[in-house]
Structure 1
Amino acid sequence: MEKQYSLDELCQLLGLSKRTIRYYMQEGLVDRPMGQKRGAYYTGAHLKQLQQLQEWQSAGYSLDRIKELMGQSATPADTLLALQPKRGDVSVWSHIHLAPGVELHINPEKAGMTPEMTRKLYQQIGALVDQLDKDES
């Protein structure tokens, strides 16, 4: 038998409020619970939908864009790579200064990178640039 979750359990597992999960259901981003009223419960499928939604939000996607993504059958990684910008889409680029004349340009949305991943990449590339400077001296 598939594991069943209460709304409170989903909230604890995902760090979301009841209100947020209900809003996602209202917007059609997450399926409605099984059963009704006090007998309502959620399944692993609901958990996966919410996790996927959080993944895309952390990648910088708007809820409208997430609705489009959830309507596609590709895996999240395939979908992130295959998306082409549409007219009017706004993309945010990070420009990180590493050294004089050396700058790293990242579009975290397209790269599927969180801020933590971007910082780690900067630190690793920065260490390489420092090593090159050290080797030159």
Structure 2
Amino acid sequence: MKNETRTFTIDDICSLVEMTKRTVRFYIQKGLLERPLGTGKGAYYTHSHLEQLLEIRKWKEAGLSLERIEEIVAAKREGSEYGRPTPPPARRKRGSVEVWSHIIIDDGVEIHLEPGRSGLSPEEVRKVAAEMTRLYRRIKEGSCDE
């Protein structure tokens, strides 16, 4: 049987994506995940559901808020395809709370980065920090070519 035609119970899909049933149902309720096919005990999930959950997990691990993930999912449903740029984040609202990373390069030199809005994974943030530190040292030592 091809992977695209395989179906999954809620237990199967939760095990594959390492999420709880409660989380999967919450994502359905929020509109992040399409409803399963069938009803009641006969409900089942497809390869498409699996891909949706893996994408949600990817964005969560990258530090995006559920609100931001909802924007991305909505944009894709409205016709945006893979390979096109991720839609820009919604305008920030007064009173909203944001979590920023402060990357210390040297005394008096910092990079302020909001992982959810930058779209960078934790690994990519570490790479940015390492590259910026290397560049800063080269500039400070006077060995940077221009």
How far apart, CA to CA, are the structure 2 residues paired with 1:27 and 1:13? 21
Does residue 79 (structure 1) correspond to residue 79 (structure 2)? The answer is no
Q: 2:22 aligns with which of 9, 19, 22?
A: 19
- Residue 9 (structure 1) aligns with: 12
Q: Would you tell me which structure has more helix in proportion to its own residues?
A: 1
- Residue 103 (structure 2) aligns with: 96
Q: 2:114 aligns with which of 84, 107, 111?
A: 107
1:49 positional shift:
1.8
1:135 positional shift:
6.1
The question of whether the paired residues in 2 share the 8 Å contact of 1:59 and 1:108 is answered with yes
Alpha carbons of structure 1 residues 34 and 84: separation in structure 2 relative to 1, 3 Å: closer
1:73-128 per-position Cα deviation (integer Å, ceiling 9, x unaligned): 32476234x23423234433322111233222222122211223212321233234
Q: 2:51 aligns with which of 43, 48, 51?
A: 48
**Identical amino acids, percent of aligned pairs:** 36
**TM-score, length basis structure 2:** 0.72
How far apart, CA to CA, are the structure 1 residues paired with 2:53 and 2:140? 46
Count matched residues.
135
SS in 2 for 1:71: helix
Q: Which runs of 5+ in 1 are unaligned?
A: none
The question of whether the paired residues in 1 share the 8 Å contact of 2:37 and 2:44 is answered with yes
How far apart, CA to CA, are the structure 2 residues paired with 1:112 and 1:85? 16
